[in-house]
Amino acid sequence: MDFAFMRDTFFTLIGGVPLTLNLAFTSVALGAVLAMLLALMRMSGVRALDWPAQAYVFVFRGTPLLVQIFLIYYGLGQFRPTLQAWGLWTFFREPYWCAVFALTLNTAAYASEIIRGGLQAVPYNQVEAARACGMSGFLLFRRIIFPIAVRQALPAYGSEIILMVKATSLASVITMMEVTGLAAKLISQTFRAVEVFVVAGLIYLILNFIITRIIMAIEWWLSPHLRRPPSVEPRLEAAHV
């Protein structure tokens, strides 16, 4: 192992981290909105809403992400005149936006199932209690259902975020120079696959470790009711005032 080479590789690859995180977080944030919509569609009980959402989830979970990326990046080029007429071509011409678009659509499918699971795990007596207090509609959702569902869904959502960080590597196939893209370029230039692989893998592990820790911190922060109460020594003098 050539450690000087590995150090140089590390500093080259670290340049791809902002793009990796940018792709991951943009698509997770946009995907969460779409996922919420899909989950509500599935739980609406209206067949005309439920059915398309189900089909969407089936299609996007059943096909490889790379196929989805190619379909959007290369495939939509077939409709270039139409897209130009609609003014969308500037969007679909850019590999960055194609990658974000594909990753968003993909994560929305997985995340909608996670959110649906969280919403369905809300105990019904909580909802009944809230209704008895006179809450309904959006207030009930905002104060009771959503906060409980978020706590239920957070661990699964955390692993989905990790999966998305890993999935951004596929953007390298459509010329995005994030960590994997830089690593592939470096490997094909130097033919030192093992060293580059070790460094790139290490970067991903560090990123994922930090993200896991952040999610764990959020979980901890959201669950004060599950924590042991801090033992407070009773102040003796206060009783004698």
Partner 1 sequence: MQQLSYFELVGFGPNGWGWSLLTAAGMTIAVALCGFLAGSIVGTLVAWGKIGGNAIIRGLADGYTTVLRGIPDLLVIYLFYFGGSAALGAIGSLFGADGFIGVPAFATGAMAIGIVSGAYQAEVFRGAYQVVSRGEIEAARSVGMHRWLMFRRIIAPQVLRYAIPGLGNTWQLVLKESALISVTGLVELLRQSHIAAGSTRRPFDFYITAAVLYLLITWVSTYLFQRAETHSMRGMRRAS
Q: Which residues contact partner 1 (rule: CB under 8 A)?
A: 58-59, 62-68, 70-71, 74-79, 162, 166-170, 172-173, 180, 183-184, 187-188, 191-194, 197, 200-201, 204-205, 208-209
User: In angstroms, what is the minimal distance from the CB of 78 to partner 1?
Assistant: 4
Tokens of 126: 């909580």
User: In angstroms, what is the minimal distance from the CB of 132 to partner 1?
Assistant: 30
Cβ closer to partner 1: 62 or 123? 62
User: In angstroms, what is the minimal distance from the CB of 111 to partner 1?
Assistant: 17
Cβ closer to partner 1: 130 or 192? 192
Cβ closer to partner 1: 18 or 77? 77
User: In angstroms, what is the minimal distance from the CB of 202 to partner 1?
Assistant: 9
Cβ closer to partner 1: 63 or 120? 63
Cβ closer to partner 1: 112 or 168? 168
User: In angstroms, what is the minimal distance from the CB of 120 to partner 1?
Assistant: 16
Tokens of 233: 């020594």
